[in-house]
Structure 1
Amino acid sequence: MASEEELQETNPICQDDVPLLTKESYMTWKDMMEKFLKNQGLWGYVDGTIHELDQDSSKDKESPLRKIFIMKCEAMVLSYIEGLDIRHIWGQLVTMYEFCHPTNPGEKMKRTHYTWCWPFYKAIVDGDWKTVSEFLSKNKGALSAIITTEGELPLHVALRQVQNKQRRDNLAKELIKNMSAEDLSKQNKHGRTALHIAASDGNLKIVKAIVEKDKKLVTIQSGPSSMQTIPIMVAASAHKKNVVDYLYPITKSQEANRKEVYPGEREKVRASLLNCLIWNNFYGLAFDLIHENPSLVLIKDMNKGVTILTLSIMPSAFPSSFSNKRSGSGMLGYHFQKFIYSCKYFHH
């Protein structure tokens, strides 16, 4: 990748020749920016034909290439491209500035403080699949574009904002059908994917529709580094038993096969799941996790919590006789006690 010094060298088209991106300057901006990036040998990073940037610094907001986009876009645009992978920024901008109304192509897209495409956004919130599908058919890239300042895709908006459940589910299913696994893995500014949102809401139909597209989606972590959660944890925290029961075996299988980001990450995620299940009274599943991997009770989770300490302050886990409707198991406290006291880690 070219250095910052190289970017400042004189070229047939220099950076100063590229105008600031606005509604009025878009076509000129697009032409000049593409030529400039090609002259600099950077276009391959934008169109995805060169991938080294993804491995090294695609997330580095201070990279020279990212700086160029930040300097050459109007302020309104920045909230829609910040944090995006370099190879997605160009597509986002093209979608935004070439977006047109399906029945009145000459109509300008009304912007609000929350969205750059109010008619499209409103059709989604209304659960109006007919109008939404018309927008999508006329606007390539709209399905995977960020349409709110919260970093939401159309599917995220549908799952959060449509009030009528039948309309919401019908619209969501249609959107999911046409989305790739990569699109479904995209996270809003709070780190949540569509699966996190559906799981939190207890929407089993949509959870299944998403997971059937790609089971690996169950392993995506959301939130800040100290509070990262996978979809099943979101469901457990919201006490959505049907979703938890569905996601549990799939999550166990996918986590076992997932490549770790750093050594020990897998065990930290499992420990986090274990503590989440205990805190939310899913004792049967928690017991299953401990039974398969006893060492989890001593491993610090993503939030530095330790299961044995969690259990020590959860008296509800230890009654001599305990029936829990969420887990469907009885005598859970007895089984926990029997298992923990017989665990080799506690015999010294």
Structure 2
Amino acid sequence: MTPDKPERRPARPWFSSGPCAKKPGWHPDELGDAFVGRSFRHPGGREKLREVIEESTRILGLPAGYRVAVVPGSDTGAIESALWNLVGHRGVAVCCWENFGFTWLHDIVAQLRIPDVTVHRADRYGLLPDLSTVDFDRDVVFTWNGTTSGVCVPGGDWIPADRRGLTICDATSAVFGMEVDYTKLDVITWSWQKALGGEGGHGMIALSPAAVERLAVYRPDRPLPKIFRLSRDGQLLDEVFDGFTINSPSMLAVEDALVALRWCRQNGGLPGMIARSRRNLDVVAGWVRSGSHVAFLAEDPETISSTSICVKFCHPAFDELTGAQRADFVNRVCAKVEQEGAGYDIGSYREAPPGIRIWGGPTVDTADIELLLPWIDWAFWSTLAEVG
């Protein structure tokens, strides 16, 4: 039986997993101090970029000696920069359990043509590969949180402290939203548009001392695009890690990132951000437990993401549908919710199984997720009645 249409809607119905919701209370007027119409190489512009680097390092609690830079191309640009600069010095292991892990694998094999690659592949969306079999004498490439599957690694205990290879981690939907053991990561990449709710187009990269040393000793035998270059003649491009970006950044986006970082600091810092995200997951977990028609896509409770929260429909009538019919069903559910102004961009990633993906990062208020869930129920049952 279809429940009554809910009466209340989320105050901020933005649940996209990228670009993500702005911080609560965000307004364009907050960007009034942006260093626009000037050269970003001017000391004033460079100081803004340096502040983003320093604030990010401080709030995340990155280990001493890690070098941090703003790079072009969002998180994709950051991870590609790491791959093009660092991979190929030794064998590589790639861990894949969702779309972006498979993307990095393709680039390593098909674009960089690294010959010695071991693949640790999950059997299906919702699972991790067997991480206990990863050889850390190799460089290891993985995502901390699978944005498209809602499956994250269960901490960093599987990564040894005395590894010989580098760990290269796409952490874009993890940083600022969940616990990450940065001491186990030699390359960390993220973007402003995820947990910070910032604007797209800019990425960040953090390098451990071991990664910096690799830049000094390894000269890839391939052309290196200018926007990916982090070293020259075996020397780190220090200015890039001191607010001198490789290409022209948007100073409006830089100011927006600073606004978000200040909000983080004023609202409990990293512990406060993680707590906000965990509360969002707790609300969804209660909804899943109380219903019979939804389940987490992640099959192991220890791997359920608190940021990119992915659920699937599990009603018998839905299970009987073909793959194309399931995709159409989910599209209709999402369209109904969106048409009511109750939730935008909640459909699963196009390569993932048809379902619902709710961004639960720290810029999303728990009260809004509480108001969203009854709308999903209403849309599900009304769509089921239509296809009945």
TM-score range, shorter chain: under 0.3
Instruction: Kindly indicate which of the two structures has a greater share of residues assigned to strand.
Output: 2
Larger Rg: 1
| Higher RCO (C-alpha 8 Å, min separation 6) | 2
Calculate the TM-score normalised by the size of structure 2: 0.24
Select the structure that is richer in helix.
1
